[in-house]
Amino acid sequence: MTRKQKRLAVIAGGMGFIIAAVLLVMFAFSQSVAYFYMPADLAKTPVAPETRIRLGGLVGAGSVVRGAGSTVEFTVTDGSANAVKVHYTGILPDLFREGQGVVTEGMFASGGNVFVADTVLAKHDETYMPKEVADKLKAQGLWQDGQGGQSQAGQGQAGQGEGQEAKATR
């Protein structure tokens, strides 16, 4: 092998290594991405079962039903006629209540339209709401800055306090 051929072999090997590393990183990121949806988005474009997503909106009025142990069922709405039923097993944030902004993370159970959440996030004070949720609610006219989550459609006053995150243990 000449020097030129050796040099080309080393360059080709290095490029192959770099390409393999980039592909592995891209595969790892594709496994951890959770897209954000609101109930109106899900009504327009349904998501395949067992696809990991984030579901955000307001906890529906009168929808919180506590089951045995730490099981809770509630609906997430965005002020439209669309609502998504959520099933969660775990400890909810202290600030979780009806009419409050919430982001849940999980997936739809196969063969059903119930969203099974493994993470529930609640807002931390009267003026904070997750950016993605606030932007979509503002676009619908249901959220205004400085109102602390007060809905124009009568959704109620959102809570105050420190933000908390709850995760179910597996």
Task: Give per-residue pLDDT as tens, 66-121.
Answer: 988 889 999 998 877 788 899 999 988 888 888 888 889 998 888 778 899 998 98
Distance, CA of 141 to CA of 84 (rounded, Å): 20
Judge whether residue 167 has pLDDT over 50.
no
**What's the average model confidence in pLDDT over 22-49?**
81
pLDDT of residue 100: 83
**What's the average model confidence in pLDDT over 26-40?**
76
For 116-141, how does the pLDDT look when each residue is reduced to its tens digit (9 = 90+)? 999 898 865 555 566 777 777 778 77
Strands 101-108 and 65-66, bridge-based pairing: unpaired
Nearest to 88 by CA among 112, 101, 62, 107: 107
Phi/psi region, residue 66 (left: phi>0; alpha: psi -120 to 50; beta: rest), is beta
pTM, to two decimals? 0.58
Using DSSP's 3-state secondary structure scheme, residue 64 falls into coil
pLDDT of residue 92: 87
pLDDT of residue 127: 56
